[in-house]
Structure 1
């Protein structure tokens, strides 16, 4: 870095982690020029492509992110795949520092027999499908009457709710047209959600759980025998108001008269069940779980009692997992870029000067927006420290935004911009306003080429699927 120009910084990944890091950096006191690279033509990451479409309150996060990018001091460069369209070395030629905020974009593995059978799916793939991610197939085999969802986090609840909810009740959302059509034809009647620990250890938020009980024509079923509490459970309830609310909601459901269950579809919540095998020969035919018991500290052990539940599809929702970034070390066990408080470590254990990580690719897929902000503050604090120590310098002579765009133009990369997102945003809202029969805020454009063409002001054929 020289005194004659601002510090030039590239962030890779335009989800909440990247946008918050860019915002914090812009207010750090450094004179800085920031480019925010995104693999997709549209920004916002998992808030756009990882949150169920019937969560308008959660999606209000986009409003906050929108306001940050709308200022104009953070430049969006979309539809650029770092590692394919440009390399880390390319970025290091043009920028004094590079921050990776690429998140966790795939399902964590669950190594039990039968998990690879046809009819067994990762929740992340399903979420990407129903959220209209442009890089996943546009069809999904919704053929099962009975479905198992493995996991007791918010993603598991999202998957269960979308599977059980009638498509007509999703039409007020931005759900893509092809997704609505597929869900309308689904024969599902029962969705079974399995968790290996007790009600006091689930990862649902109270809001998510209460919303589950409000889905039209869907009954929530819980089982008295699944309600175990030990000293660790009691301590969790005493120390966390969130846990207390979740347990109260679940307990209230145990008091409901079974005769009142008249809905066409049901979501069954099973606790103290550890999935041990997906059953079937040529495709999924059932799920085998082992009953567990609490050990006193909130953890569990197997009892040797097994239960088989007939299902024709299994969705594992046991967590997200990061993907390797070309040119960087990667921890295959944890799914993160090796780092110390956001400073990326090389294979030799030394810092890669000027390379940083933030968000889930830094610490793993835990925590919500508050954690993402504090995480970004830590990473940016180290970047500022390194900048003031004179450690950050681009590897080439042509530094900054214009030099990078010239390289992208020369390579024929059809990148998109913030102004392009505003064009796509307006187009999707117009589709919603033009929709017949129901008031919709927007209808999401799915096809990548159409997204890109709209964002670049090019002619397009209007394909949405």
Structure 2
């Protein structure tokens, strides 16, 4: 029986490299890897060896015989991917008796003759940690990771929904990376405030920016600043215990909430708003958020998109998981669930995108909503024109759109004179993200990213390469891909950095590690290092165990700093006790 990739896939491709028969696709060297919504196991080629299960950092791969009822649908989702015409990928470069393996990208080799390499990484989320992992494969490399927050791991900690604990397990990999010799945290340190970009360069050969895209795009409509109107990202940060949002308050007294935008974040928020709080009680959701959800009167969440169903931004796994949420009905009006003319033509020719085909198949599973149950309603072809209310949101007005086909053959929408107002007490926007400029670092305001060529930062959009400055993750490529996509992205950036170091293009640091620690300590006495984070992590887990939860997040900065100061100097594991497999690091 084959193994099956389920909805918690992080797409970091560890399973791809572990598979002895190359039956998991797309692989990082295939063109559709960066756009794929998940990885898929070929049921005809799988030899049921289980190597992929051990390699997966988020426990997303399950043997067919152990699939739970909600997971059974992923057997078909995996199999359907291989029904589309493609080469027999398991034989490319191999033979009938020895299938080729996916091509492994070797870690770049640092020229030891040029001395030890020192790199600063700004940000501590997936992009940053994968970059650190690539660098620390080489002896003598040191990596200093800076984050303005007192806790690491970025969106894995503050963005992944609390009911997706398997996905959050990838943090265990990041902790393994941070345990290596040569790694240090400088948490609660803001670049541009406590230390400058130029000072980082003075203390390191290179600086990698991995700060993500933290600002939400706005609607630009009247009433957007009314109380009760905010971004879905802020709402997610609130229920995830982000220190910046622990004091936020949300009015959940109205029966309906509206989310503008229908990506995965919108689905997460809708699911959390309609889930029985008892099912969240054992997760790492912030205690104050759980209390607020217990008192919530929200019965219906409306998810609104300006285009049609075929252009839905959510992924197949997230949609499938939403449809299986217990005691919640999902509703899509029949007159808004059809395909546009372009998609209909593709469907007739058998060329409709695999993901859209799967979404249509899942849509066909919808049943009639039951009376008295909470519901999530998907609406299409609506563009917001105004958020209405006096001293608080009472609703949002939309213009009805119609599908038009552009001169280039693409699907576009055109607003009509018809309007519709949906009553709501909470309006959340989730229409995309953009990066935020960092003092002293070039920025492309039109794209919301640091200008770069494959990770080498430019001194201006279209300008020359800024020596010693690099980028990875969303601040490099824009808000695209998944957690594991950042691994391939980081590999490219680090390869260029090492090539530049080996070529003698990077200036030597003018100050040593001790000078850096002294400088940061003077500017920010509340800095938290790796040992401090380990104490915080242990305490959060201890509090969680006491209350039957995964962890209880600490959100007060003063308490976090006080805990960190109780840390003793850690015993650093020797690098010889770490083995690097074709995926993440594992202990020997």
Same fold (TM over 0.5): yes
Q: Which residue of 2 aligns with 1:386?
A: 500
1:205 and 2:315 equivalent?
yes
1:358-373 aligned at under 5 Å gives the runs: 358-373=472-487
Equivalent residue in structure 1 for 2:520, among 365, 388, 408: 408
Q: Which residue of 2 aligns with 1:247?
A: 360
What is the SS of the residue equivalent to 2:518?
Answer: helix
Q: Which residue of 1 aligns with 2:279?
A: 169
Residues 274 and 4 (structure 1), Cα distance of their counterparts in 2 relative to 1, 3 Å cut? closer
Q: Distance in 2 between matches of 1:298 and 1:90?
A: 48
Q: Deviations over 1:372-394 (max 9, x none)?
A: 12221221122122112211114
Farther-moved stretch of structure 1 (187-196 vs 32-41): 32-41
Equivalent residue in structure 2 for 1:186, among 296, 317, 325: 296
Where relative contact order (Cα < 8 A, 6+ residues apart) is larger, the structure is 1
Q: Distance in 2 between matches of 1:243 and 1:159?
A: 22
What is the SS of the residue equivalent to 1:304?
Answer: strand
Deviation at residue 238 of structure 1 after TM alignment: 4.1
Quote the RMSD (CA, aligned, Å): 2.3
Contact 2:140 2:182 in 1 (8 A): no
Q: Which residue of 2 aligns with 1:102?
A: 211
What is the SS of the residue equivalent to 1:274?
Answer: strand
Equivalent residue in structure 1 for 2:529, among 417, 423, 428: 417
Farther-moved stretch of structure 1 (315-324 vs 105-114): 105-114
Equivalent residue in structure 2 for 1:311, among 406, 424, 448: 424
Contact 2:256 2:301 in 1 (8 A): yes
1:73-84 aligned at under 5 Å gives the runs: 73-84=182-193
Q: Which residue of 2 aligns with 1:257?
A: 368
Contact 1:218 1:263 in 2 (8 A): no
Q: Deviations over 1:173-224 (max 9, x none)?
A: 1112111111111221211110112222112122211222333332222110
1:345 and 2:458 equivalent?
yes
Q: Deviations over 1:321-380 (max 9, x none)?
A: 211111112222322112222111224822211011111111111111343122212211
Residues 36 and 185 (structure 1), Cα distance of their counterparts in 2 relative to 1, 3 Å cut? same
Q: Deviations over 1:418-454 (max 9, x none)?
A: 222221111111111111xxx3221111112212221
Q: Deviations over 1:141-199 (max 9, x none)?
A: 22332111000100011111122223222101111211111111122121111011222
Contact 2:310 2:340 in 1 (8 A): no
Q: Which residue of 1 aligns with 2:150?
A: 41
1:334 and 2:447 equivalent?
yes
Q: Distance in 1 between matches of 2:277 and 2:446?
A: 38
Residues 228 and 391 (structure 1), Cα distance of their counterparts in 2 relative to 1, 3 Å cut? same
1:433 and 2:545 equivalent?
yes
List runs of 5+ in structure 2 lacking aligned partners: 1-110, 568-588
Q: Deviations over 1:204-259 (max 9, x none)?
A: 12221122233333222211010121353244884543322222212321xx234x
Contact 2:329 2:376 in 1 (8 A): yes
Deviation at residue 412 of structure 1 after TM alignment: 4.5
Equivalent residue in structure 2 for 1:374, among 474, 483, 488: 488
Q: Distance in 2 between matches of 1:276 and 1:251?
A: 31
Q: Which residue of 1 aligns with 2:37?
A: none
Q: Which residue of 1 aligns with 2:254?
A: 144
Q: Distance in 2 between matches of 1:214 and 1:67?
A: 33
Q: Distance in 1 between matches of 2:248 and 2:114?
A: 53
Contact 1:217 1:263 in 2 (8 A): no
Contact 1:219 1:263 in 2 (8 A): no
Residues 10 and 271 (structure 1), Cα distance of their counterparts in 2 relative to 1, 3 Å cut? same
Farther-moved stretch of structure 1 (150-159 vs 379-388): 379-388
Equivalent residue in structure 1 for 2:391, among 246, 259, 282: 282
What is the SS of the residue equivalent to 1:374?
Answer: helix
Deviation at residue 2 of structure 1 after TM alignment: 9.3
Deviation at residue 3 of structure 1 after TM alignment: 4.1
Contact 2:246 2:555 in 1 (8 A): no
Q: Which residue of 2 aligns with 1:58?
A: 167
Equivalent residue in structure 2 for 1:124, among 233, 237, 243: 233
Residues 239 and 376 (structure 1), Cα distance of their counterparts in 2 relative to 1, 3 Å cut? farther
Q: Distance in 2 between matches of 1:413 and 1:4?
A: 34
Deviation at residue 15 of structure 1 after TM alignment: 0.4
Residues 339 and 221 (structure 1), Cα distance of their counterparts in 2 relative to 1, 3 Å cut? same
Q: Which residue of 2 aligns with 1:220?
A: 330
Deviation at residue 46 of structure 1 after TM alignment: 0.5
List runs of 5+ in structure 1 lacking aligned partners: 459-465
Q: Deviations over 1:56-109 (max 9, x none)?
A: 122122122222223334222212111111111111111111110011112112
Q: Which residue of 1 aligns with 2:584?
A: none
Q: Distance in 2 between matches of 1:342 and 1:308?
A: 45
